Copies of this chain bind each other. A is one copy, B any other.
């Protein structure tokens, strides 16, 4: 089997090409397009769309049928970063080592570029002719559910309200399940659906996706304590200065690592139950739990 680094690099290029192509195809206005391309090309790892493609592939489907959903997911993720970075939200000047959208352009442009990417995500799924109408509708339903007022946006809202407050572990996990988890869940659930996995297998994969979301978040919090700012492209220790609740703060650094390892075991077990052990997904779980940026 191809090694994970080669696999990640290959998929990332493929996804990037399609993202750029979609934006050119469906956006006329010059400055708007420039801002959309700027954020999409800001050097993300494309973990979410790669997870979607890898899941479809684990069940024998090729990436052509899965590409629109994968890119739609990355567009949602990108729009959420643009809006989260705004002065009224997290007020961040730098993201992935480069200026955030409202710093590079202006606030109005950043708001509109986010709105356009969100809209485009549903458009590219609806326009994907390698999927049947039933498949496209399933994906629009799932993606809107994962990213809307009972998903990512709700999580962001909860996160804003918990700022400068010490919250319980349970409340923290509710925030992350919505803010980060639902999109990761969409990645595996959409990939499994496109790959024609059975209902039973999809259920197990959703469990895996849930664990993966928490692994992802715990590692984020751990990196904010132990990470290398150079490697990460953003300052570390930013959680410490404020009252933001994190796993290391609630459980200690060792406790957070242990909690993460529990979720890794859970995720690998769900993967076995879903009949997808030994696929690229298994390597992805390990990779996400050990990533250094």
Task: Report which A residues bind B (CB closer than 8 A).
Answer: 23, 26-29, 31-33, 36, 79, 83, 86, 88-89, 102, 106-109, 111-112, 114-116, 118-120, 122-123, 125-127, 132-134, 136-137, 140-141, 144-145, 147-150, 153-154, 156-158, 160-161
Provide a sorted-by-A list of 9 A–B residue pairs whose CB atoms are within 8 angstroms. Answer: A26-B145, A26-B150, A29-B149, A83-B112, A116-B149, A119-B144, A120-B148, A132-B133, A133-B136
User: Across the interface, which residues of B come within 8 angstroms of A153, CB to CB?
Assistant: 32, 112, 115-116, 119
Say what secondary structure dominates the interface of chain A: helix
Copies in the complex: 2
Given the known interface contacts A29-B157, A86-B111, the answer about A147 and B119 at a Cβ–Cβ threshold of 8 Å is: yes
Residue from the list B136, B147, B154, B160 in contact with A108, Cβ < 8 A? B160
A266 to chain B, nearest CB (A): 25
Bound form: Cα–Cα A36–B32 in Å = 26
Identity of the chain B residue whose Cβ is nearest the Cβ of A133 in the assembled complex: B133
